[in-house]
Amino acid sequence: MATNKPLVSAIVVSYNVRDLLLDSLRAFYASSDVPVEVVVVDNASSDGSADAVAATFRQAKVIRLAVNVGFGKANNAGLQQAEGRFILLLNPDVTAQPGCVGRLTDFLLVRPDAGAVGPRLERPDGKLDLAARRGFPTPSAAFYRFTGLNRVFPRSARFNRYNMGHLPETDTHEIDAGTAACLLVRRAAVDRVGFFDPDYFMYGEDIDLCYRLKTGGWKVFYLPDARAVHVKGASTRQSTRKMLWEFHRAMWTFHHKHYAADMPAFANGLVWASIWARWATLTAKTQLSGDPRISP
């Protein structure tokens, strides 16, 4: 029996970024070379985002949430309406380049062991967005990042494991985690390991998902032949203090969930203290400088 179900369902979570959202959807529909559907989940925006999408893209599904439930929960709501064999996580500040979705889809079609694959995600200046390929934030990886050793030794497999600096940007390779800003996930894999953990409001939920994919026997890949451009932080810039709090809360949530049970109490205490000392430092820096561009 013939089916009209799409091959790819793109879930786009939006919060008060109307113009960016519309531009992203225009680019997505124009560049998609596989059967797709779009599910837009509006996190109680006040800028008319949901109405604008419904009026401009009648083929898109629009879910209007009454309150801002956070990134993970909003994606979970979108998944309930998604019908595709593959789920594309796409931020409204990301522009998929021509062929991006098709190349990601082809990769999952020929690699049944792959649970997820992400593109070469670039900043507007063409430089690699380091979130496109990441190692898991183990206590040692976090220590090297917090102390700046990853910047001193950017190509070290030990000191810059978190940003995978030892691997060429131009090569396809297996990674620990991609970023939910643009990541194609196999629906069958999600059905087995679960989608986003609602304990994360924003940040960390994509690393947590990739961790569960990997421990569930799936692989995660970086595919530089597929490209997307990331403005980055368009939504989170609206509340820097909230962003910093949620970023560091997500760090502790991930550590407590995946690493704490195998570590002695004093070591967990050091991790906890380090995370919140960093949060306090960055928050104070933001307040004193008045610079909204400070990011975690």
* Residue 295 DSSP label: -
What is the distance between the alpha carbons of residues 61 and 55, in angstroms, rounded to a whole number? Answer: 11
Neighbours of 144 (CB within 10 A): 21
Q: With contact defined as beta carbons under 8 Å apart, do 131 and 179 qualify?
A: yes
pLDDT in tens, 261-271: 999 999 999 99
Q: Domain ranges in the chain? A: 8-134+176-236, 239-289
What is the distance between the alpha carbons of residues 111 and 219, in angstroms, rounded to a whole number? Answer: 9
What is the distance between the alpha carbons of residues 63 and 121, in angstroms, rounded to a whole number? Answer: 27
- Tokens of residue 62, six digits: 């629009």
What is the distance between the alpha carbons of residues 160 and 141, in angstroms, rounded to a whole number? Answer: 7
Provide mean pLDDT across the span 71-94. Answer: 97
What is the distance between the alpha carbons of residues 285 and 295, in angstroms, rounded to a whole number? Answer: 11
* Cα atoms in the 13 Å half-sphere on the side-chain side of 122: 18
pLDDT of residue 2: 45
pLDDT in tens, 138-195: 999 988 988 889 999 999 989 999 999 999 999 999 999 999 999 999 999 999 999 9
Is the full-model pTM beyond 0.75? yes
pLDDT of residue 238: 54
Dihedral (Cα; 277, 278, 281, 285), 10-degree rounding: -160
Specify the fold of 8-134+176-236.
Spore Coat Polysaccharide Biosynthesis Protein SpsA; Chain A (3.90.550)
What is the distance between the alpha carbons of residues 210 and 278, in angstroms, rounded to a whole number? Answer: 25
Helix, strand, or coil here: 164? Answer: coil
pLDDT of residue 234: 59
